[in-house]
Amino acid sequence: MASKKLLLLPGDGIGPEAMAEVRKIIGYMNSELKSEFVLDEGLVGGSAYDAHGAAISEADMAKALAADAVLFGAVGGPKWDSVPYDVRPEAGLLRLRKDMELFANLRPAICYPALADSSSLKKEIVEGLDILIVRELTGGVYFGEPKEIRDLGNGQKRGIDTQVYDTYEIERISGVAFELARTRGNKVTSMEKRNVMKSGVLWNEVVTATHKTKYSDVKLEHMLADAGGMQLVRWPKQFDVIVTDNLFGDMLSDIAAMLTGSLGMLPSASLGAPDAKTGKRKALYEPVHGSAPDIAGTGTANPIAMIASFAMCLRYSFNMIAEADRLESAVAGVLDDGLRTADIMAEGKTRIGTAEMGDAILAKFRALAA
């Protein structure tokens, strides 16, 4: 493959610190493995607002659309709490998802053996956990219209969000879930609230029909989303792939993340449809954690979710499977060695900072390549 165009959008808070560690890995891959990544960088979130008065500039949007993949850090912080709603930091991320048509959000929740004790759940419940949440990302209540606060003229206001899904949106996201299930445990659990929502009734129907016509070799199960949340903390290992809508996926993936010990561990990939001619998908990779403004600048953030997001990028955007496997093994190896950032610190382990964690992972990655 020719050069690989990567756009880095470090964003706010701990985003830039975490991204700096990925940069080290890319630098090594370019100089020693001849990986030919071509890097560009842009602003998103509060940092873009400060520079351009928008959560992402048109120029950076154009770069994102032209890149082979985007690596995204995190956005937001108290500094921008009172900026207008349309240009709040999160609007940059939502625009990227929408304009790049990144409808499939893959959020793996893997419990590294070395971290089974850091989970808020008992070790036997989470040890060996490996589930994948497939969250619909460009529809539902996040983008449905009308979306407004209406003045009712009688001293009352009405806040309105619209939950809306069309057949094709449910078909394509469930297709992604079934395809991925075939490469793993061959089971999909679909979650919605068909007991109270029409969009849930349709969701259930379309997933069932898609399964019947194209994926009947995969085991399909339906669960109400509230019960799903409960089952995730009761017995998470019953799941393989979970497919759900945008809002339930947002919540369920945070729950799943905590099973693994820390939000600082979880990567994600947001993918578009394969291009009809080239087969390439637009893609954005981001840690599930936020900008953690409380610890930004202290050098203590955990860069693992960002680094693991880059591993997903190697896997899904560049088909560099061996390198992705090796980078993930490097992360697991460093944890096995007892190295921990503050968020996953435990008795008897060695506490290190962001840059040291990045260096340790790079050293392992390099050693595994030798």
The verdict on whether 364 is a catalytic residue reads: no
Binding at 90: pick from Mg ion, ligand IPM, none (beta carbon under 5-8 Å per type): ligand IPM
193: which 2 tokens?
């609230």
Q: Was 351 annotated as part of a binding site?
A: no
Instruction: Determine the Cα–Cα distance for residues 104 and 101; give it in Å rounded to an integer.
Output: 9
359: which 2 tokens?
């260096």
Exposure of 302 in the CB half-sphere (CA atoms within 13 A): 26
Which own/partner pairs from 96-99 qualify as long-range (CB within 8 Å, at least 24 positions apart)?
96/9, 96/44, 96/56, 96/61, 96/64, 96/70, 96/72, 96/284, 97/137, 97/138, 97/270, 97/284, 98/138, 98/143, 99/61, 99/64, 99/65
The H-assigned helical ranges of 8-135 are 15-32, 46-52, 58-66, 89-99, 123-126
Q: Was 352 annotated as part of a binding site?
A: no
Q: Which of 161, 226, 325, 359 is catalytic?
A: 226
The verdict on whether 5 is a catalytic residue reads: no
136 part of the interface to ligand IPM, by CB under 6 A: no
Q: Which of 4, 63, 193, 282 is catalytic?
A: 193
Q: Was 208 annotated as part of a binding site?
A: no
Binding at 242: pick from Mg ion, ligand IPM, none (beta carbon under 5-8 Å per type): none
Nearer to ligand IPM, 247 or 369 (CB): 247
Q: Tell me if 357 sits within 8 A of 17, measured CB to CB.
A: no
Nearer to ligand IPM, 13 or 303 (CB): 13
Show contacts with Mg ion in window 7-36 (CB under 5 A).
none
Instruction: Determine the Cα–Cα distance for residues 186 and 263; give it in Å rounded to an integer.
Output: 26
The verdict on whether 215 is a catalytic residue reads: no
Q: Was 99 annotated as part of a binding site?
A: no
Instruction: Rule CB under 6 A: choose which of 18, 29, 48, 93 binds ligand IPM.
Output: 93
Q: Was 203 annotated as part of a binding site?
A: no
Cα dihedral angle (247, 216, 172, 9), rounded to 10 degrees? 70
286 part of the interface to Mg ion, by CB under 5 A: no
Q: Tell me if 176 sits within 8 A of 104, measured CB to CB.
A: yes
344 part of the interface to ligand IPM, by CB under 6 A: no
Q: How far is the CB of 257 from Mg ion (least distance, A)?
A: 9
**Quick one: which of 205, 212, 214 has its CA closest to 175?**
214
192 part of the interface to Mg ion, by CB under 5 A: no
Nearer to ligand IPM, 268 or 300 (CB): 268
Cα dihedral angle (25, 343, 283, 364), rounded to 10 degrees? 30
The verdict on whether 193 is a catalytic residue reads: yes
Per-residue x/- track, 225-264, Mg ion (CB under 5 A): -------------------------x--------------
Q: Which of 250, 282, 316, 343 is catalytic?
A: 250
250 part of the interface to ligand IPM, by CB under 6 A: yes
Q: Tell me if 199 sits within 8 A of 191, measured CB to CB.
A: no
DSSP run (H or E) holding 210: helix 198-214
Nearer to ligand IPM, 88 or 211 (CB): 88
Show contacts with Mg ion in window 306-345 (CB under 5 A).
none
Q: How far is the CB of 250 from ligand IPM (least distance, A)?
A: 5
**Quick one: which of 226, 246, 224 has its CA closest to 141?**
246
Binding site for ligand IPM (CB under 6 A): 90, 93, 250
Q: Which residues are catalytic?
A: 142, 193, 226, 250, 254
Residues annotated within the binding site are: 77-90, 97, 107, 135, 226, 250, 254, 290-302
